[in-house]
Amino acid sequence: GAAYAAQLGTMQVNDEIDALKVMGIPSVEFLVLPRMLALVFVMPLLCIYADIIGMVGGAFTAANMDVSFTQYVLQTQDAVDWVDISTGIIKSIFFGVLIAIAGCQAGLQCGRNSNAVGMAATNAVVRAIVYLVVADAAFNILYDKLGI
């Protein structure tokens, strides 16, 4: 999100976004949509990658506690099911959208100097954190109501 804000903020400072508007190219479709789609597609992959790395790390930790690999795998299969994995992937998609919105919004609202670009990046991080905390709370309430 901070990178998106810095990129779009720098484009704002260099009047590139205004140039797009003059040429009749909608800046949201040309600049925001590709960034949002990128995060929507990459965040589930990062979620799966983090899940796998977490399980491998858990296996190493369990091995240091004299737990056999077979026992670890059996206990993990009992503790984790596809509902857990799928709800995490669903959350990651929404989180990707929120991070992209926060970053692009901060970048497009950036001022016209280099100091404003740094402030936009900081603003994007703060917004994204707030958005994610609120969304995570909403997901937890929803999952609790659904019994997941």
Q: Output the pLDDT for position 51.
A: 95
Q: Output the pLDDT for position 67.
A: 93
Q: What is the C-alpha to C-alpha distance for residues 103 and 126, in angstroms, rounded to an integer?
A: 10
Q: Which two tokens stand for residue 51?
A: 């899940």
Q: How far is CA 125 from the centre of its chain?
A: 11
pLDDT in tens, 29-54: 898 999 999 999 999 999 999 999 99
Regions in the chain scoring below 50 on pLDDT: none
**118 three-class SS:** helix
Q: What is the C-alpha to C-alpha distance for residues 45 and 77, in angstroms, rounded to an integer?
A: 21
| Tally of CB atoms within 10 A around 49 | 10
The reply to whether the predicted model has a pTM over 0.75 is: yes
